[in-house]
Amino acid sequence: MDFILLSILKTAIAAPVLLGTLAYLVWIERKVLAHVQLRMGPSRVGPHGLLQPIADAIKLLTKEDFIPSYVNHFYYWLAPWLALMFAVTAISVLPVGPVIELFGVKTNMGQADISIGLLLILGLTGMGVYGIALAGWSSNNKYSLLGGLRSSAQMVSYELPMALAIASPLLIVNSLNLREIVNGQAGYVFGIIPNWNAIGGLQIFSFLIYLICAFAETNRIPFDLPEAENELVSGYNTEYSSMKFAAFFMAEYANIITACSVATTLFLGGWHPIIPNELGGQFIPTLLCLFFAGVLFYHALNPARPSDRISMGVIGLVIAGLGLVFQVPVVKELAQPLFWFASKAGFLIFVFIWVRGTVPRFRYDQLMRFAWLVLFPAALLNLLFTAFVVAAKSN
């Protein structure tokens, strides 16, 4: 089948999934934060607020697109879409599964499979700063300008330790192609410990450094200086409303997804199961799903609210069905890698939200000092150490 057609097909599948994920990520974040803070979170629209994202989308689309009179129109309009574009494009090189054969077509689960995928992701995320910086500058407002300046300085500073942290697993798997990186982490030490870079590859330090840098790169708490509400009245996107604001919002979450997926690919062995399949790793998805379904059924039988009796039951049934899907012979090849990848990335995203719920914000000078005086040397040392180890192994 033709390459171009295939790519279009993949995109057609991937784009709505991605948008849906972005939308529901907001819901998840709000829920998790709410429970961290002992609140209910969105619970009015639909069962457990499950329809909240749709409501939000409608609201954002129909809101008045208010443009202040003194902004630089072109860049004011350009900035959010620039940010969103780069954020989403970066995802396109991420493989979520191995090369599979479907309807006689061999293809890899992922948009593009290029030999410099990682570098491309770095470059695109690096470009992402333009959106924010431009937004800050073009909205002609000192808070926004400060936000833009902060974000550009912060991103440039945190890209260095990030790149260094990425470099050390690369030394081990010795490729820049994301699929090869994942394949390089296949197998198990002593047959049981997964040979992932973060665990079997002993790259836990660079994993942590990468994670911290990812927080900074995505402007998340504790590094959300560019949009610090209480200092800069939410910084670069102060002047934005309705769909442009939504674009920034989605860009942020897309960046989070990218960062987590990259972390999964680089450090957590991509789609490889945590236990070898022959030791029953292939049953874990099903078991997990059934377990959750069981919990839900329990809640359905003795509900907190009357509506739960139906909703919980339905959701439970869905999840149980999903669990059974993982054992269907053909689909299995496709579904299990997806499950593992998604669960790992999802866990990391949960960590993002968790941190947001618990950690206070840095001061700006602390932020910079942390980047240059702590992370950078740490990453360098780690890289050096890894290099020595690899060299020692190679001969």
Partner 1 sequence: MTHLLPPEFFTATVPLHAYLILSAILFAIGACGFLFRKNIITVYMCIELMLNAVNLSFVTFSYQFGKVDGQIYSFFVMVVAAAEAAVGLAIILTIFRNRNTLQIDEIDTLKN
Partner 2 sequence: MDVILFTFFALVAIVGAVSLVLQKHPISSALSLVSVMVALAVLFLLLGAEFIAAAQLVVYSGAIMVLFVFVIMLLNAGAERESRKGGLAQFLGLPLTAILLVFASTVITQSMSNAKAVKFGAFAGGGPREVGWELFTRYLLPFEVTSILILIAIAGAVVLARKEID
| Interface with partner 2, residue 155, by CB under 8 A | yes
* Residue numbers at the binding site for partner 1 (CB under 8 A): 2, 4-5
Burial class (CB in 10 A: 0-12, 13-18, 19+), 192: exposed
Residue 145 partner contact from partner 2, partner 1, none using kind-dependent CB cut-offs of 5 to 8 Å: partner 2
Smallest separation, CB 154 to partner 2 (Å) = 11
Cβ proximity to partner 2: between 59 and 73 the closer is 73
Bridge partners (DSSP) listed for residue 106: 101
Q: What distance in Å separates the CA atoms of residue 354 and residue 359, rounded to the nearest whole number?
A: 9
Cβ proximity to partner 1: between 157 and 206 the closer is 157
CB atoms within 10 A of CB 347: 12
Residue 2 partner contact from partner 1, partner 2, none using kind-dependent CB cut-offs of 5 to 8 Å: partner 1
Q: Between residue 39 and residue 98, which ones bind partner 2 under the rule CB under 8 A?
A: 75
Residue 391 partner contact from partner 1, partner 2, none using kind-dependent CB cut-offs of 5 to 8 Å: none
| Whether 308 contacts 281, CB under 8 Å | no
Cβ proximity to partner 2: between 53 and 128 the closer is 128
Token pair for 77: 């309009």
Smallest separation, CB 8 to partner 1 (Å) = 9
| Interface with partner 2, residue 159, by CB under 8 A | yes
Cβ proximity to partner 2: between 14 and 162 the closer is 162
Nearest to 87 by CA among 222, 260, 271, 221: 260
| Whether 259 contacts 214, CB under 8 Å | yes
Smallest separation, CB 177 to partner 2 (Å) = 9
Q: What distance in Å separates the CA atoms of residue 270 and residue 301, rounded to the nearest whole number?
A: 37
Nearest to 375 by CA among 177, 150, 179, 223: 223
Interface residue with partner 2 among 34, 45, 54, 149 (CB under 8 A) is 149
Smallest separation, CB 100 to partner 2 (Å) = 25
| Whether 212 contacts 351, CB under 8 Å | no
Cβ proximity to partner 1: between 32 and 145 the closer is 145
Cβ proximity to partner 1: between 5 and 304 the closer is 5
Q: What distance in Å separates the CA atoms of residue 138 and residue 148, rounded to the nearest whole number?
A: 10
Residue 152 partner contact from partner 1, partner 2, none using kind-dependent CB cut-offs of 5 to 8 Å: partner 2
| Interface with partner 2, residue 122, by CB under 8 A | yes
| Interface with partner 2, residue 124, by CB under 8 A | yes
Smallest separation, CB 368 to partner 1 (Å) = 16
Sign of CA dihedral 132, 134, 138, 142: positive
Maximum Cα–Cα distance across the chain: 68
Continuous H helices in the chain: 3-36, 52-62, 73-91, 117-138, 142-173, 178-184, 204-217, 229-232, 242-267, 284-301, 308-325, 329-358, 364-369, 376-394
Residue 5 partner contact from partner 1, partner 2, none using kind-dependent CB cut-offs of 5 to 8 Å: partner 1
Site for partner 2, rule CB under 8 A: 75, 114-116, 119-120, 122-124, 126-127, 129-130, 133-134, 136-137, 145, 148-149, 152-153, 155-156, 159, 176
